[in-house]
Amino acid sequence: MPCTTLLVGKNASYDGSTLIARNDDSQSTRFTPKKLAVIHPEQQNRVYETVLSHLKIQLPDNPMRYTAMPNALKGEGIWAASGINEAEVAMTATETITSNPRVLGADPFVEYDEETNTPGGIGEEDIVYLVLPYIHSAREGVLRLGSLLEKYGTYEMNGIAFSDYDEIWWLETIGGHHWIARRVPDDAYVVMPNQLGIDTFDLKDAFTTQENHLCSDDLKEFIEKNHLCLNLDDSFNARYAFGSHDDSDHVYNTPRDWFIRRYLNPHTYKWDGENADFTPFSDDIPWTMVPERKITVEDVKYALSTHFQNTPYDPYITRGDLSNKGALRPVGINRNGFLSVLQVRQGQEPIEWFTFGSNVFNTLVPLYIHIDTVPEYYSNTTAEVSTDNYWANRLIGAMADACDKQSAIHIERYQRVVQSHSHHIIHTYDELIEKETDEARKTELRHEANQKAADMLKKETSKTLHLVLDTMKNKFARSDA
């Protein structure tokens, strides 16, 4: 999917949590309705068949419960997308990334052959379903997915994030069967638009101690045989070797990376004007950066909602030189399907923050994940447009986008009120859950907290929808005498 990912190490976050977040964006000209779900072990198939590539895979007999954000409509597979399992390991998949002809010529994609009915490999449709129910750490997630890629191959390039309370790992697929993964430093963050991002990669570490780097077993031979290393010295830059270097990256990918870094590190580098260190068109923005201050959930939400505010590229700009208005692909876009921020906390239960629709106009809400069901407001999405589920935020976005200046105050209030109430619910129920000794009662409290959050969100969403209905440009102050 055309998405944007933000990863925040535990020492870079405001409360010591690991944070992995991703916008799941629909393809151009369409929306993919989503819903929130809890998948129980008895619901997990033991033989899984992919829809797009017609591949059958035998799965282990010991799946765990996990949350997921599957497609609401049938037809193209599960696309579980994002979630946290009962071992408190989080995963989000996938960020569609790019490669180059040298890589794809050396290790072609494993695509379904309709003429011979030969199965293809695995892809975004399948990855969370095949991995998340079976892993007990972020590192274990990398190794399980890596083994699946080596065995079955893939028909697309993807980036996948894993986290637990201690570590974050980012895996990138290389061609049909190869992969690399790098641990995010604890004091740093990573921004991933839709292109291969890992730069410096320590092959020695990957083939010895594996402290911060992992890769497919034959990666060294693959690089050497196909002359993929482009460094002039003894170092190895994976972005040079495996990534894309296209003009389209400077419209679609690098600008998003540039703007989020500009927000989180405004003084570290010169981002604008002559002699800028990095611009929207820079291919060499570092994969990791240490932020200038600790990063909050609200920072993550803002970063993954941005649209080049206060720059000439903002699609909502109305003053000055408008020649670059809307020229670059923003992070917050009309076809954002959902955003999840997976917060694995130190000494406390994980929280799955999420929201539906275009991020410019929506707001995050929290979910305790050790639960049996989710509130109906999050799970009842259908193809029919409604104000009782996912579609409410789609309606707000469509109307607020058309009258953005008039709607801005209502959207800002909506986001502030919901996020404030959300933090209050977490503070209240964290304390209640911590004091409770009975496990059944703890589960009841989590359900109670989640329902309170859902009721509050529904109320505030309905209120905001009512307010933006009154922002049409053809309104007139005088009514009948």
Active site residues: 3
Q: What are phi and psi of 240, to 5 degrees?
A: -65, -45
Task: List the structure tokens of 355.
Answer: 């929201």
Residue (of 149, 211, 207, 140) closest to 179 by Cα position: 149
Q: Rounding to the nearest 10 degrees, give the CA dihedral for residues 463, 73, 134, 356.
A: -20
Q: How many CB atoms lie within 10 A of CB 445?
A: 19
Contacts of 373 (CB under 8 A, 6+ apart): 38, 379, 447
Q: Rounding to the nearest 10 degrees, give the CA dihedral for residues 195, 197, 202, 203.
A: -10
Q: How many CB atoms lie within 10 A of CB 205?
A: 16
The maximal CA–CA distance of the chain, rounded, in angstroms, is: 84
